[in-house]
Amino acid sequence: NITGELDQMQRRHDWVLQHGGTCVMVCVHSVGLSGMTALRRYAQLPLHAHRAGWGYLSRSPALGWDFRPWQLLWRLAGADHLHVNGLRNKFSEPDEVVVRAARSVQEPWFEGQLPASVPVFSSAQTGLQAHDTYAALGNDDLIVTAGGGIFGHPQGVADGVTALRDAWEAARSGQSLQEAAKERAALRSALTFW
């Protein structure tokens, strides 16, 4: 997370780049559209846009906030990845709102164009959501941030990563988690934890 004043973000970006990092994160409500645009012009790395504070904007329909135009502004400002929450999340958004948000991030601006940005699924994500997420989007052009779903694995972080990958591979191939777990030890252990 390189969020800060513009000169701080530039220095932090350069530090990450010099140390082999492949992406930087920015809390968009903290830096604003002009800060994001300036950072995009400067940055060599992809910009991962975190929407910290979205809950206070979106919970009340009286405020008039909707994710679709909001995400478009941040994509125009240079966001490569945008958080959309996650299925069966720990926050207030129902699954259908999350799916609609993810689809809007994947939507090309022009006919025939590849998606310009990638949705980021977060908030209590594990391999248990892989099948439903894949089915809802019809693709796996997304990022899953699953801190507890990885770091909490009974056999450690490496098995947590393996289990999450195995769950997504099962989703892509149409194999149930239970069937996949018979052949994959890390996934089998994770299912008891998740």
The domains located in the chain, with CATH, are 59-193 (3.20.20.110)
Query: Which DSSP helix (H) or strand (E) runs through 111?
Result: none
* pLDDT average, residue stretch 12-20: 99
Task: Give residue 52's pLDDT band: very low, low, confident or very high (50, 70, 90).
Answer: confident
Residues 6+ apart with CB under 8 A from 11: none
Residues 6+ apart with CB under 8 A from 78: 36, 37, 39, 40, 41, 43, 47
Question: How high does pLDDT run on average in the chain?
Answer: 92
Q: What is the pLDDT of residue 92?
A: 80
* pLDDT average, residue stretch 124-133: 93
Q: What is the pLDDT of residue 116?
A: 72
- On the question of pLDDT at 115 being above 70, the answer is no
**Residues 121, 145: contact at Cβ < 8 Å?**
yes
**pTM of the predicted protein model:** 0.89
* pLDDT average, residue stretch 36-48: 98
CA 19 to centroid of chain Cα atoms: 23
Q: What is the pLDDT of residue 192?
A: 86
Minimum mean pLDDT among 35-39, 87-91, 147-151, 167-171: which range? 87-91
- On the question of pLDDT at 194 being above 80, the answer is yes
